[in-house]
Amino acid sequence: MKRTAIYLLAIILISGCREKPSPVITGRNITAGHGMVVSAHPEASKAGVSVLQKGGNAIDAAVATEFALSVCYPEAGNIGGGGFMLIRMSDGSSYMIDYREKAPLGASRDMYLDEKGNLKEESSTETHLAAGVPGTVDGMLKVHGKYGRLSFREVIQPAIDLAVKGFAVTEEQAGSFNRNREYFLKMNASLPAFVKDGEWKAGDVLRQPDLAATLERIRDNGRDGFYSGKTAEMIIREMKRGKGIISAMDLAKYEAKFRKPLTGVYRGYRIITIPPPSSGGIILLQLLKMLEPWPLQESGFHSLKAIHLIAEAEKRAFADRAEYAGDPDFIDVHTSILLDQKYLKRRFNDFDPDQATDIKKIKAGLLSGHESDETTHYSVVDKDGNAVSATTTLNNLFGSSIVVEGAGFLLNNQMDDFSVKPGTPNMYGLVGGEANSISPGKRMLSSMTPSIVEKDGKLFLVAGSPGGSTIPTTVFQVITNVIDYKMDIRQAVDTGRFHDQWLPDYIMFEKGSIDSLVLEGLKGMNYDLKERSVIGSVNAIEILPDGKIRAGADRRGYNTACGY
């Protein structure tokens, strides 16, 4: 009796002393003590943090966030698309998983061309043929299996709950659903959950029972819950309906792949980023290395000199991308040469401080391919200092707008990221190179640039963005805003941005981001200029000197940080 009483007392004391999880805080620019998730949707960030509070690590939280985004941010979150995830563990080791889609085995170089060799309008964007074999589910299972701490069931459950119970759509989302309504109706045999009687309004609840059932199959059967069995049958049926070519064999053979991250040093900070088949990491490191010899800070933020320097470096990096970048399993990307210090110095030898270089002189290469803006990035840090930087996409907003009937998820239209007609402009006036031409089983080139920065060997920044070809230059600007211009992550993310990608031959800039005298100066140096409402939408994290975790959730969009 006495022993039982002592035992009970001990239990009461122990549970009384056990650290209660700190309350969750939510906002755009919050600072937290233990863990943080920053994503494009408040519900996805909440899902990630709930997993951290259960004792999950950053990888568990990232997988939870990725699946939650597939429910509450169907604009770009997905299980029918793909992406790249970069991991830095607290011991300094770094890893990367490539879950980019692949061309179906029945794909061919000229599949989007007619008998005369002309591009068939919209065939690579608005048809079942536009879909690459989805990679997200295999990517999440593999990365969780290797680095996660909680059970897979625990990390996918928040997404299932969101799909079953529904969530309140944001104002921006209500607008996107309404604007896309005609596409959803045109592309689908039965009404997808995103179409309702009348208009969506902020706060309306979106429930997705078909998607919930698909996620449950993944929870219960792992890979077989998606790449074979009922979900696979639904995908094949959907392909038959729309004359698509993803086969049972494509699904069975899809494998996400661990690859070695790229690394480089910029002004003493170590940059960890993404290798091909994204071009993003190479462009980011090329820009940093080309510009390191130049005192950006002394030139002044968004000064004529600084913009000219950066735009010139961007032209050269994008010209290289067009010529050399593609799937490393199919072509030699020459990454080490492209990042060689001597090569980059030579590349910048013809820089003229007084005027824009004639783009024809930069390189006789081909132009860069187009990637849509509608991608999404999330960043995670856990209480032990493990970090994840992940960017995921369906390509266009809502991908192809085709929902797999009965399975409730959207198919990507990522095939458009290949050079669908090498050497000839696509619908956006851009051309791609042979290195990124279509082959069966090949991954299409990307610009996604999830990145992590170390300071003095410790975790410092986690960042990434959507924005197609503007992604690497956006991430570059966030990093240099912090390192060169001494901004904190909130300012670095929110301040205005510009972008030059060699061709089309102009600098695009956000409205109000560059002083009118500087714009006049740029015109005088032979630059064409194009104003744009926004460039990118960054979700970033900064580790402060006292170890606190600060979020930088971009003002562009509904980005929300959740921390505790």
Query: Please, which residue, 382 or 417, has the CB nearer to ligand GLY?
Result: 417
* Closest distance to ligand GLY from the beta carbon of 60 (Å): 25
Site string for ligand GLY, 330-369 (x = CB under 6 A): ----------------------------------------
By the rule CB under 6 A, 501 interacts with ligand GLY:
no
Q: Which is nearer to ligand GLY, 102 or 302 (CB)?
A: 102
Show the tokens assigned to 498. 């510009």
What's the rounded Cα separation, in Å, for the pair 343 and 348? Answer: 9
In the complex, the smallest distance separating the C-beta of residue 508 from ligand GLY, rounded to whole angstroms, is: 16
**Residue window 388-407: x/- pattern of binding to ligand GLY, with contact defined by CB under 6 A:** -----x-x------------
- According to CB under 6 A, which one of 385, 468, 552, 557 is a site residue for ligand GLY? 468
> Which residue lies nearer to ligand GLY by CB, 326 or 468?
468
State the residue for tokens 């803006």: 373
Three-class DSSP labels, 296-354: HHHHCCCCHHHHHHHHHHHHHHHHHHHHHCCCCCCCCCCHHHHCCHHHHHHHCCCCCCC
CB of 179 to ligand GLY, least distance (A): 20
Write the DSSP assignment of 518-552 as a string of letters. Answer: HHHHHHHTT--EEEES-----EEEEE-TTS-EEEE
Alpha-carbon distances, residue 492 vs 89, 136, 483, 542 (angstroms): 24, 30, 10, 11
Size, binding site for ligand GLY by CB under 6 A: 10
- Assign residue 327 a region (left: φ > 0; alpha: ψ between -120 and 50; beta: otherwise): beta
With CB atoms as reference, the residue minimizing the distance to ligand GLY is 446
- C-beta closer to ligand GLY: residue 393 or 477: 393
Min dist. Cβ of residue 470 to ligand GLY (A):
10
- CB nearer to ligand GLY: pick between 42 and 135: 135
Q: Which is nearer to ligand GLY, 319 or 487 (CB)?
A: 319
CB of 368 to ligand GLY, least distance (A): 11
Written as one letter, the residue type at 96 is M
* Least spacing, CB of residue 196 vs ligand GLY, in Å: 28
Q: How far is CA 516 from CA 163, 306, 511, 522, 528, in A?
A: 48, 15, 11, 10, 14
Which one-letter DSSP state was computed for residue 395?
Answer: S
Binding residue for ligand GLY, selected from 210, 323, 417, 494, defined by CB under 6 A: 417
Please say which residue, 208 or 539, places its beta carbon nearer to ligand GLY: 539
- Both structure tokens of 231: 């979900």
Nearer to ligand GLY, 157 or 375 (CB): 375
What φ, ψ does residue 421 adopt, rounded to 5°?
Answer: -140, 85
Q: Give the active site residues.
A: 375
x-or-dash string of contact with ligand GLY, 362-381, rule CB under 6 A: ---------xx--x------
Site for ligand GLY in 267-306 (CB under 6 A): none
Interatomic CA distance for residues 308 and 10, integer angstroms: 69
* Alpha-carbon separation of residue 269 from 186, 209, 484, 561 (angstroms): 50, 47, 11, 25
Shortest distance (Å) from residue 101 CB to ligand GLY: 9
Residue with tokens 């996604």: 448
CA distance 1 to 89: 48
| DSSP reduced 3-state for 253 | helix
Could you say which residues in the range 428-457 bind ligand GLY, by CB under 6 A? 446-448
Which runs of E-coded beta strand occur in 28-185? 31-32, 36-39, 82-88, 94-98, 167-168
Least distance in angstroms from the C-beta of 278 to ligand GLY: 7
- List interacting residues with ligand GLY (CB under 6 A): 371-372, 375, 393, 395, 417, 446-448, 468
